[in-house]
Amino acid sequence: MSPLTSPLHDRHVAAGAKLADFSGWSMPIEYAGGGVLAEHAAVRSAVGLFDVSHLGTATVRGPGAAAFVDACLTNDMSRIGPGQAQYTLCCDPDGGVVDDLILYLHGPDDVLLVPNAANAAEVIARLRADAPAGVEVTDLHAEVAVLAVQGPRSLQVLELLGMPGELSYMSFVTGSGRAGAEVTVCRTGYTGEHGYELLVEAGRAGDLWDAVLDAGQDLGIRPCGLGARDTLRTEMGYPLHGHELSREISPVQARAGWAVGWKKPAFWGREALLAEREVGPSRLLWGLRASGRGIPRPGMAVLGADGARVGEVTSGTFSPTLRTGIALALLDSSAGVAEGTELAVDVRGRPQTVEVVKPPFVESHVR
């Protein structure tokens, strides 16, 4: 079966992008003329443009739609109001994470969800199965494109486009600028930099992509692929579903308890998560910073001082900012590690010394 393609696929091909299958979608990993390191640097110092249209989109609409979503997903929607977005989790009854996603609250009867590509269909199916009469869950995956404009000069780009950029973190507005298309602009992202995600009708995505690149040409803008997106999010310690969160890795283990409304009367997985929090998780997510040349990679064993296995790397990469290897890892709680503990990662049979740290690895500028 051929992978799905973004509405911006022709732009990526024209720009010499290296494409790869990502959760069933053919998406750019990096672009000709610089690659991951240059794209990463552009986001940290100037501005980068990402196509993240592989992310799912779905609406939940009808009387009491927001209350229904709140009773299913983990975070507490009473913390936000219309025009605000929220990070939340869809969990199994046993506390495992089916997906992590962003919700946009338009009003009590209208919620937009942005799940991950691989899990969108499952999240939608679960919501449809539990939806009360009058509440409709609509899959818009093929109808909406998502662009991310990220970096310290991202506000300048939006201003040049006539789009609203002076937004508080995790708030959104819908309007049209000089690009001509109606766009939902949300002050969020996955890089640790000041940035925005733009939701637009799929058929207008190409025009918007072109307009953003044109507006940012004197500001150092670069199109960026999923390779840089991964190094940027790892430097921030942001979880990636399938790595730091999964049906086998709970929010408690992944330090994502801040995205759980513990006092809410109901959400999927509530009883299991409350029980785990009460007794304490058997393993916990930590950051690792390498002191040598070896680069930790997912699946590599983390070793204690006696050489015994104490955990496993969930994500690992070379940090372009720090110029060293960094990783996220689930470590056994019984190992008694703390910040500053020295461990090792088995890098192809050779122990690479690492220091336990609490992410982010570099300063965040999102708020």
pLDDT at residue number 1 = 73
* pLDDT single digits (tens) 287-337: 999 998 999 999 999 999 999 999 999 999 999 999 999 999 999 999 999
Same domain membership, residue 81 and residue 27: no
Do 32 and 72 lie in one domain? The reply is: no
Query: Does position 186 have pLDDT exceeding 90, yes or no?
Result: yes
Q: How far is CA 96 from CA 110, 250, 273, in A?
A: 27, 5, 9
Do the domain assignments include residue 327?
A: yes
- Residue 122's pLDDT band, with cuts at 50, 70 and 90, is very high
Whether residue 179 has pLDDT greater than 90:
no
Number of Cβ atoms within 10 Å of the Cβ of 203:
11
Q: 150 and 129, same structural domain?
A: no
State how many domains the chain has: 3
Q: Is residue 248 situated within a structural domain?
A: no
Let me know: does 49 contact 189? Beta carbons within 8 Å: no
Q: How confident is the model at residue 121, as a pLDDT?
A: 97
Q: Which of 86, 109, 139 is the last residue of a domain?
A: 139
Q: Which pLDDT score, from 0 to 100, does residue 165 have?
A: 92
| The domain boundary residue, chosen from 200, 235, 270 | 235
Same domain, 44 and 147: yes
Inside any domain, residue 247 = no
Same domain for 129 and 198, yes or no, is no
Q: Are residues 157 and 74 in the same domain?
A: no
Q: Are residues 102 and 167 in the same domain?
A: no
pLDDT in the model for residue 344: 98
Confidence of residue 177 (pLDDT cuts 50, 70, 90): confident
The residue-averaged pLDDT of 106-128 equals 98
Give domain status of residue 366, yes or no.
no
pTM value? 0.97
What's the average model confidence in pLDDT over 17-21? 96
> Considering only CA atoms, which of 306, 316, 298 is closest in space to residue 342?
306
- Residues 45-63 have a mean pLDDT of 98
Residues 315 and 356 placed together within one structural domain of the fold: yes
Domain assignment present for 88: yes
pLDDT at position 48: 98
Check which CATH number belongs to the domain holding 105 and give it: 3.30.70.1400
Question: Domain with 321 in it: what CATH number?
Answer: 2.40.30.110
Same structural domain, 161 and 217? yes
Q: Residue 367: inside a domain, yes or no? A: no
At residue 22, the pLDDT reads 92
- Domain check: are 12 and 31 in the same one? yes
Domain that holds residue 122: 58-139
Mean pLDDT of 32-54: 97
Three-state secondary structure readout of the chain: CCCEECCCHHHHHHCCCEEEEECCEEEEEECCCCHHHHHHHHHHHCEEEEECCCCCCEEEECCCHHHHHHHHCCCCHHHCCCCEEEEEEEECCCCCEEEEEEEEEEECCEEEEECCHHHHHHHHHHHHHHCCCCCEEEECCCCEEEEEEECCCHHHHHHHCCCCCCCCCCEEEEEECCCCCEEEEECCCCCCCCEEEEEEEHHHHHHHHHHHHHHCCCCCEEEECHHHHHHHHHHHCCCCECCCEECCECCCCCCCHHHCCCCCCCCCCHHHHHHHHHHCCCEEEEEEEECCCCCCCCCCEEECCCCCEEEEEEEEEEECCCCEEEEEEEEEHHHCCCCCCEEEEEECCEEEEEEEECCCCCCCCCC
Judge whether 148 lies within some domain.
yes
Please report which confidence band the pLDDT of residue 56 belongs to, taking 50, 70 and 90 as the band edges: very high
Q: Is residue 246 part of a domain?
A: no
Q: Is residue 237 predicted with pLDDT exceeding 90?
A: yes
Claim to verify: residue 304 and residue 342 sit in the same structural domain: yes
Of the three residues 217, 235, 253, the one that is the final residue of a domain is: 235
Report the percentage of the chain scoring pLDDT > 90: 96
Angle at 88 between CA 227 and CA 173, to 5 degrees: 80
Asked whether residue 347 falls in the same domain as residue 286, the answer is yes
pLDDT at 367 over 80: no
- The chain-wide mean pLDDT, for the chain, equals 97
